[in-house]
Amino acid sequence: MFSRRVVCMTSTEGGKSPSSTSPPAPSKSNTTFSKENGAQSDGPREVVVDENIGGFCSISPRNGRRLELSLQEKESLFLDAVQAYFRGSPILSNAEFDALKEELTWQGSDVISLERDEFRFLDAAKAYERGNAIMSDEEFDKLKNKLMNQGSFVAIQRGPRCSIKRQITFSDVITDKRRTFALYLPAGLLMSLFWLSFSYELTPLHQVDPVISLILGSPIIVLASRFLTGLVVPEAEIMVGDCPSCGRRTHVLFGNVLNQTGFQDNADVKCDKCKAKLKVDRSSNRMILLAEGN
């Protein structure tokens, strides 16, 4: 057996106090003692130590038992620790931070792989909720759109939301990469067949396995597929989002089809389920509810 440092969150009636580190449990006892920060107490309160609980826990104010933090609580503590570090006032030591990161890794959390811009976005969102905005609306929207275009999960929120300030009901839209990729499949299949015929008849590749021939010709196939698809649907992009009225997944195609002019920056569409009138803003990645449907 080896001793380890235990980081606990001491619960109070008003909430949770900042994280603190308690010493390792004595080898001949299974109890430690802790005082609530800022609370009146006649003596030390017994904290029941359960060795099956991981290093990060909360202390029950009723019976003093250590309870394991939920995954959401650990992720919140991790984000607070990273943001505090960027502000120059760390709340966890390097050892405590590494232990927390290791626990989140074993639990399959995605927050440990966040980039700096994603932490900035989360920090700005939390500050705005507290009524202490740290960046302007324009900067926040620009950062959010950047993260959404990168496919960051922290900037993408499913379902409708209301903006009291702007008096609108909206939901986020993102590029449907699968459907956009599917636009290139017909040209890709056509060029693959053409390449196999061409390489077999007119090049020394007729003695090569067809799979290897396709691999060797893949750069030409990809370029030709993009060119042919661009002739039919130039600069096409399929975006998807939830209808702000009923939540139905709604797809919108931006771009022209042959000589027919399609949606460019904005699209006025109807939900195929509730028939609500919607406006999709390509630049802000938002689907705005204009009128309720049936």
pLDDT tens per residue across span 1-17 = 333 444 454 444 444 43
- Residue 18 resides in a domain: yes
**91 and 140 assigned to the same domain:** no
What's at 260, amino acid-wise? Q
State the pLDDT at residue 86: 65
Looking at the structure, do residues 99 and 121 belong to the same domain, yes or no?
Answer: no
Q: How far apart are CA 36 and CA 260, in angstroms?
A: 70
Q: What are the φ and ψ backbone dihedral angles of 82, each rounded to 5 degrees? A: -65, -45
| Number of domains, the chain | 3
Are residue 12 and residue 81 in the same domain, yes or no? yes
Q: What is the pTM of this model?
A: 0.52
In a domain, 163, yes or no: no
Report if residue 59 sits inside a domain: yes
| Closest CA relative to residue 128, chosen from 173, 165, 102 | 165
Q: Are residues 212 and 124 in the same domain?
A: no
State mean pLDDT over 242-271: 85
Q: Which of 81-90, 163-172, 207-216, 247-256 has the lowest mean pLDDT?
A: 81-90
CA dist 60 and 234 (Å) reads 61
Give domain status of residue 34, yes or no.
no
Q: Give whichever of 18-32, 117-131, 168-182 has the largest mean pLDDT.
A: 168-182
Domain assignment present for residue 51? The answer is yes
Task: Indicate the residue among 176, 201, 232 that finishes a domain.
Answer: 232
Q: Domain limits at 89?
A: 6-29+43-106
